[in-house]
A and B are shown apart, each in its own frame.
Chain A
Amino acid sequence: MAGLIFSFQPGASPLHRLDVRVKLAALLAVSLTSLQLGHAALALALSALLLLLARAGWPPLSTLVALRWYLLLLAIVVCSQALTTAGEPLLPISWLPASRQGLEVGLLSAGRLLLVALAGLLLTVTSRPAALRAAVEWLLRPIPLVPHRQAATMVGLLVRFIPVILSQAAELKEALRARAIEESRRPLRRLTALGLPLLRRTFLTADRLTAAMEARCYGAELQRDWPSLGTRDWAALALVGCCCLALLLLSLW
């Protein structure tokens, strides 16, 4: 997972150079479009995204490996749809009531979910976390009552501390194994033995982090200037729009 968290691949592809706000808008457009896509359009969109990911430095195979648990979930979606939808039997086995219609419906919904997942991955791979965080801040700005500066700081800290906590957890698990936690028959003890030290550490870290952030003048109002979108950004936005439209037309037709 630590590898996934840092799936941002520094690079200079056209996608890397796009404004993050454009990429977020594109992600939203793709997510909404995916709900209406038919089989052909979906297959087209999926291949396009896999190609873009390859262009950004993630070959299709490693993409699928990274998403393996998600793929497993999608397989469950397909199976459950196939098994529960009434229709023309798929297999000549009476106790396995899989229908052809069910399989189609299942593949369709799994494909849609996969499309959105791939689009999200593409965004992560081509955008610096800090840029993403800043874009979130920008997006939250017009929403009242949401302290956008604080939200952006919190997202930044979250991203910063996930790998720290993960390695603490791994260290802790080893220490517990060295002291034969696996032999313990009391399940409660196994839960607290892992949870408690993790939480204690988190609290200590919070104390120190607060002091360190204060020492570096956190808290003053921060002004961030946003450059306006360039020609390239608008062109990309238009392109994504056209693609979505074309896919929709293809599905309807």
Chain B
Amino acid sequence: MNQQPDLRNLVLASLMAALIAVGGYLVVPIGPVPIVLQNLFVLVAALLLGSRWASAAVAVYLLAGACGLPVFAGGGGGLGHLFGPRGGYLFGFLAAAWLTGLIAERAGRRPWLEVVAMVAGSLLIYALGVPWLQWMLGLDFGKAMAVGMLPFLPGDALKIVAALLIVRSVRPLLRPATAPSQPPRRSAG
């Protein structure tokens, strides 16, 4: 395609941002704590798009929420949500996209390094989210951990493995910008 090389990345990052927003509403009921797909998509975006465009995707998601578009799970939206009790997790997504992307770019598609990248990113989300929650709700640290982190860890482990599988399978679709946008055999609907 004769495209500006960045346009496709821009479109992809926007769609990943939409997917992250939708992910907040996609719940897979496994075990006692339902699994939300939101941070799964953050991790996938980081692995596929790299640090710069993945953080752009999360930033756009936060920006849309900040100016009042109701993209945050639970409705409402606006600055109130961003600086509400769960705000730390939201900013954590931004940091996680950046960090996971950064490590993944250097991982050269080695699975174990990609897992390290995702674990680091996931922990970063809690590193921002839990103290924020603790401060906002006036909890003590142990309680904040019990409410805001521990119940989600098994799900997170599962999500990291799922992200790895998903990225493996989707990566071939990430052709360089010089490739055709549609293979010719796919033409009629």
Q: Does A touch B (CB under 8 Å) in the complex?
A: yes
User: Once A and B bind, how many residue pairs between them come within 8 Å at the CB atom?
Assistant: 224
- Bound-state Cα–Cα, A66 to B70, Å: 11
Residue-by-residue, is A38-67 near B (CB-CB < 8 Å gives 1, otherwise 0)?
000000000000000000000000000011
Interchain CB contact under 8 A, B37 and A129: no
- A209 part of interface (Cβ distance < 8 Å): yes
In the complex, chain A residues 178-227 whose Cβ is within 8 Å of any chain B Cβ: 187-188, 190-192, 194-196, 198-200, 202-211, 213-214, 218-219
Closest to B30 in A: A187
Number of interface residues of B (CB under 8 A): 68
Interchain CB contact under 8 A, B170 and A203: yes
- Inside 8 A of A117's CB, which chain B residues have their CB? 76-78, 80-81, 84
- Which of the candidate stretches B12-20, B100-108, B109-117 sits at the interface with the other chain? B12-20
Least CB distance from B147 to A in Å reads: 9
- A91 part of interface (Cβ distance < 8 Å): no
Number of interface residues of A (CB under 8 A): 76
- Bound-state Cα–Cα, A205 to B37, Å: 20
Of A7, A151, A188, which contacts B158 at CB under 8 A? A188
In the complex, chain B residues 10-52 whose Cβ is within 8 Å of any chain A Cβ: 10-19, 21-22, 25-26, 28, 30-31, 35, 37, 40-41, 44
- Bound-state Cα–Cα, A73 to B140, Å: 18
- A15 part of interface (Cβ distance < 8 Å): no
Interchain CB contact under 8 A, A209 and B80: no
- Inside 8 A of A135's CB, which chain B residues have their CB? 67
- Inside 8 A of A31's CB, which chain B residues have their CB? 79-80, 83
- Which of the candidate stretches A77-85, A92-100, A233-241, A245-253 sits at the interface with the other chain? A77-85
Interchain CB contact under 8 A, A199 and B71: no
- A37 part of interface (Cβ distance < 8 Å): no
Q: Assuming the A-B contacts A124-B69, A192-B166, A205-B15, are A67 and B75 also in contact, with contact meaning beta carbons closer than 8 angstroms in the complex?
A: yes
Of B3, B35, B68, B158, which contacts A210 at CB under 8 A? B3
- Inside 8 A of A103's CB, which chain B residues have their CB? none
- Bound-state Cα–Cα, A61 to B2, Å: 52
Interchain CB contact under 8 A, A69 and B74: yes
Could you list 12 examples of A-B contacts with CB < 8 Å? Answer: A5-B71, A27-B78, A121-B76, A132-B67, A153-B10, A154-B60, A158-B21, A191-B35, A196-B166, A199-B19, A207-B8, A207-B181
Which residues in B have some Cβ–Cβ distance to A below 8 Å?
1-4, 7-8, 10-19, 21-22, 25-26, 28, 30-31, 35, 37, 40-41, 44, 56, 60-61, 63-64, 67-71, 73-81, 83-86, 136-140, 158-159, 161-162, 165-166, 169-170, 173-174, 181-182
Known: A191-B28, A218-B7. 6 other contacts (CB 8 A): A27-B78, A70-B74, A117-B78, A120-B79, A121-B77, A213-B7
